[in-house]
Structure 1
């Protein structure tokens, strides 16, 4: 029935599912959880480092700089996380 150079339909579907999020809800929940944890850690570390700088210098603004730096790092790492979860596709 199938020509010898074509794969069975089930194998084509498997490859399509493995290359992205597909219909797997566990994979999607893993992505959402990882994105949330990554952003929380980046923001927390940024604020913590900013607070340490404030304490050392006697200022009150480095925590905000740390917060913004943590947000920037978080956005960049989330971009790369999404690329890994979707199989590296995209621009």
Structure 2
């Protein structure tokens, strides 16, 4: 009776996961914006560097979300 049923997860865990994934994408995108803006001020052409930083940060955010979801689904199957 104390065994953990992987298919009967708490709805709070699912809500936390969805919130954490969104927060992860936002933070990575913001860090990309900040780094792109900083690089643009150092090397010139702020707009291009900022856009590149935002896109790079968003891509990193998506990659980390995929890794987290993969880990979450592996834990759920065990």
Fold in common (TM above 0.5): yes
Aligned to 1:15: 5
- Identify unmatched segments of 5+ residues in structure 1: 1-9
- Identify unmatched segments of 5+ residues in structure 2: none
In the aligned structure 2, how far is the partner of 1:77 from the partner of 1:88? 18
CA-based RMSD of the aligned residues comes to 1.9
Taking the TM superposition and a 5 Å limit, the aligned residue runs for 1:1-91 are 10=1, 14-17=4-7, 22-59=8-45, 60-86=47-73, 87=75
In the aligned structure 2, how far is the partner of 1:16 from the partner of 1:24? 10
In the aligned structure 2, how far is the partner of 1:57 from the partner of 1:28? 43
In the aligned structure 2, how far is the partner of 1:26 from the partner of 1:48? 32
Deviation, 1:23, is 4.1
Q: Taking CA–CA contacts closer than 8 Å with sequence separation of 6 or more, which of the two structures ends up with the larger relative contact order?
A: 2
Higher helix share: 2
Could you state the TM-score of these two structures normalised by the residue count of structure 2?
A: 0.81
Could you state the TM-score of these two structures normalised by the residue count of structure 1?
A: 0.71
In the aligned structure 1, how far is the partner of 2:35 from the partner of 2:49? 8
- In the alignment of these two chains, the number of paired residues is 75
Deviations 1:32-56 (A, max 9, x none): 1110110011000100000001111
